[in-house]
Amino acid sequence: MGTNSGPAAAPGELPGWAAEMYARDTATRTLGMRLEGAGSGRASVRLRITPGMLNGHGIAHGGYLFLLADTAFAYACNGYGPVTVAHSAQISFLHPVEAGDDLLAEAVERDRYGRNGVYDVTVRRQDGTVVAEFRGHSVALSGRPGAARPAGGDPAG
Amino acid sequence: MGTNSGPAAAPGELPGWAAEMYARDTATRTLGMRLEGAGSGRASVRLRITPGMLNGHGIAHGGYLFLLADTAFAYACNGYGPVTVAHSAQISFLHPVEAGDDLLAEAVERDRYGRNGVYDVTVRRQDGTVVAEFRGHSVALSGRPGAARPAGGDPAG
Amino acid sequence: MGTNSGPAAAPGELPGWAAEMYARDTATRTLGMRLEGAGSGRASVRLRITPGMLNGHGIAHGGYLFLLADTAFAYACNGYGPVTVAHSAQISFLHPVEAGDDLLAEAVERDRYGRNGVYDVTVRRQDGTVVAEFRGHSVALSGRPGAARPAGGDPAG
Amino acid sequence: MGTNSGPAAAPGELPGWAAEMYARDTATRTLGMRLEGAGSGRASVRLRITPGMLNGHGIAHGGYLFLLADTAFAYACNGYGPVTVAHSAQISFLHPVEAGDDLLAEAVERDRYGRNGVYDVTVRRQDGTVVAEFRGHSVALSGRPGAARPAGGDPAG
């Protein structure tokens, strides 16, 4: 994961809540994902596909594309205050991805209503080709950020 | 990923195509996933959640649950001959998962029609609690197993 | 809608809550859907496709298949007491449906957790062919059955 | 369905293929849906909710919201030439809808790749509130428009 495991956006460029969440986010950092931007209702995350992420067909495991999109979703929906988790998500795979491809996932909020949200994430390859489309449904828990374990649902990201 | 990176089911217990696909499946083996069974239309895959898979909320990143389910899906839909890939998938998160949890994903075929298939994957924790439900849509490519890059779609798993 | 607009299952064969819900269910009765069975976590609903349900390609509008499946989902998830509505749903179309086809939607509960539920509905043609697969996510509201308008979400069915 | 069963957009305002498809589209016209616009990759369809569309909870049956969105999807994806049908679709219900509400579904193409497409449809109430979000996956058949029955998949709309 070497070349892309550097720091995310310089800490000063991320809002405080995002920098703190990213500092605790072992899964994302271990895979070398870079949080390039985050705000209320939007986030950008980058991942370079390594040979260790290829499946039995010799191309990127679709699960890594989901993991990347789900991470962007998590940062897009957690900027409002309450701990917010994924209820469910859907992903479509448009094109195969190879080792060395540099992927950018951009999440945008589509709707918020009550404690719920709908977010769209588009994953593009370095040449701009869309390789996956993701739609996630979030639920805000009653706890505060950093609070104890959520009682239901599985946090996205 | 040490403790769960041992061999999958003893090679003799898996059909030849599954053992060969698993041998090439770097992504799955790197994460320590164990392919416990595979046949035409079904597969079982196990994953132990490590501290490196936790997200910024301190619980398992939902992307790893998807990755596990997607792997079971891939083995369930690739036993018929043609290289078969994921068109799209949907996942629902029912309960949070912690470090040390031992997850089992069981995939079953629901329908096959033309080159398409619908597969359901249930992910359970060691105490039997369902933590995620996954539904995947597959498409069989015209190539043979082990053939060159699929022309469209992104292989599941 | 003539031939299939008769009564549903004889009232005595349905649980009281289902008979009452069906009596108020104008949408379902207007289309000639027959509620053939309902219990906590399961329901069966039948619909005959009429010429008025064909789309611009001359086959059944997919929306009617969804409507049928969504109705079975609604009866399967409303037998526990609280008014329960649809959070979201996904449908896959497997085979085209023609005028005169007699469709049966069978809903079964897959999981319940907290106020949420996951239900699968399979829609079959008179020859047993599966024509659509549906997965719905429900949310129980705090109100009692027959209570005033739900505060959020759109009732399934 | 009286008040909203008038003609769609004046015929001259719709492209020829859309006017012809709408003329054959019994399902859509029977329900009083108005095709307000259609082009390659976009469409707008309007529906007024009648008392006959209410469910057992006294609000609009979610199936009618799907039917409306699915219709907009069908017109957005059929302007390229080949008969194009729905592979699958997902819908999220955000707010309840009442009798008398005037709904507008606007479909936009998100991606096309090979014979496949991804389309988003947003359904709004007369006050602008989003009541449902829909994402549909299309597949182009090899037949020409108006050709015989598609061999697989169920046309959207």
CB contact under 8 A, B152 and D114: yes
Q: What's residue A152's pLDDT?
A: 40
Segment B75-98 shows an average pLDDT of 96
Q: Which domain holds residue C70?
A: 2-140
Q: What's residue C155's pLDDT?
A: 43
Asked whether residue B73 is assigned to any structural domain, the reply reads yes
Any chains having at least 3 CB pairs less than 8 A from chain C are A, B, D
Segment C24-33 shows an average pLDDT of 94
Task: Please report, for the domain that includes residue B46, its CATH number.
Answer: 3.10.129.10
Asked whether residue D7 is assigned to any structural domain, the reply reads no
Q: Answer whether D114 touches B (CB < 8 Å).
A: yes
Asked whether residue C149 is assigned to any structural domain, the reply reads no
Q: What's residue D145's pLDDT?
A: 42
Token pair 């998500």 is at which residue?
A89
Residue B13: pLDDT band (50, 70, 90) is confident
Query: Which residues of chain A are modeled with pLDDT < 70?
Result: 1-12, 143-157
**DSSP-assigned letters across all residues of chain A:** -GGG-S-SS-GGGS-HHHHHHHHH-HHHHHTT-EEEEEETTEEEEEEEPPGGGB-TTSSB-HHHHHHHHHHHHHHHHSTTSS-EEEEEEEEEE-S---TT-EEEEEEEEEEEETTEEEEEEEEE-TTS-EEEEEEEEEEE-SSPTT-S--SSSB---
> Which position has the higher pLDDT, C146 or B84?
B84
D146 backbone φψ class: left, alpha, beta (φ>0; ψ -120 to 50): left
In this complex, the residue of D87, D90, D116 whose CB is nearest that of residue B90 is: D90
Q: In chain C, how many domains are there?
A: 1
Of D69, D105, D116, D108, give the one whose Cα is nearest residue D89. D69
Give pLDDT tens digits for B111-125. Answer: 999 999 999 999 999
Q: What's residue A147's pLDDT?
A: 37
Residue D132: pLDDT band (50, 70, 90) is very high
Mean pLDDT score of chain A: 87
Q: What's residue A12's pLDDT?
A: 58
Q: Answer whether A144 touches B (CB < 8 Å).
A: no
D119 close to D135: Cβ distance less than 8 angstroms: yes
Of B47, B38, B46, B35, give the one whose Cα is nearest residue B8. B35
Q: What's residue B142's pLDDT?
A: 75
Q: What's residue B10's pLDDT?
A: 52
Asked whether residue C98 is assigned to any structural domain, the reply reads yes
> Which position has the higher pLDDT, C5 or D56?
D56
Asked whether residue D145 is assigned to any structural domain, the reply reads no
User: The whole model's pTM is what?
Assistant: 0.89
Which of A56-60, B147-151, C13-17, D48-52 shows the lowest mean pLDDT across its residues? B147-151
Q: What is the ipTM of this complex?
A: 0.87
Q: What's residue C9's pLDDT?
A: 53
B133 close to B140: Cβ distance less than 8 angstroms: no
CB contact under 8 A, A111 and D90: no
Residue B9: pLDDT band (50, 70, 90) is low
Asked whether residue C157 is assigned to any structural domain, the reply reads no
Which of A111-115, A123-127, C153-157, D48-52 shows the lowest mean pLDDT across its residues? C153-157
Which of A127-136, C102-111, C134-143 shows the lowest mean pLDDT across its residues? C134-143
Q: What's residue B114's pLDDT?
A: 94
Which of A36-40, B5-9, B40-44, B77-81 shows the lowest mean pLDDT across its residues? B5-9
- Output the CA angle D86-D68-C25, nearest 5 degrees: 115
Give pLDDT tens digits for C56-83. Answer: 999 999 999 999 999 999 999 999 999 9
Task: Give A-chain residues touching D111 at CB under 8 angstroms.
Answer: 94, 130, 133
Mean pLDDT score of chain B: 87
Token pair 């309960």 is at which residue?
B95
Segment D27-41 shows an average pLDDT of 95
What element of type H or E holds B138? strand B130-140
How many angstroms separate the CA atoms of A152 and A75, rounded? 19
CB pairs under 8 A between B and D: 16
Asked whether residue D154 is assigned to any structural domain, the reply reads no
Asked whether residue D6 is assigned to any structural domain, the reply reads no
Q: What's residue D9's pLDDT?
A: 53
Q: What's residue B144's pLDDT?
A: 46
Terminal alpha carbon distance of chain C: 19
Q: Answer whether A57 touches B (CB < 8 Å).
A: yes
Any chains having at least 3 CB pairs less than 8 A from chain A are B, C, D
3-class secondary-structure state, position B70: helix
Residue D64, pLDDT above cutoff 70: yes
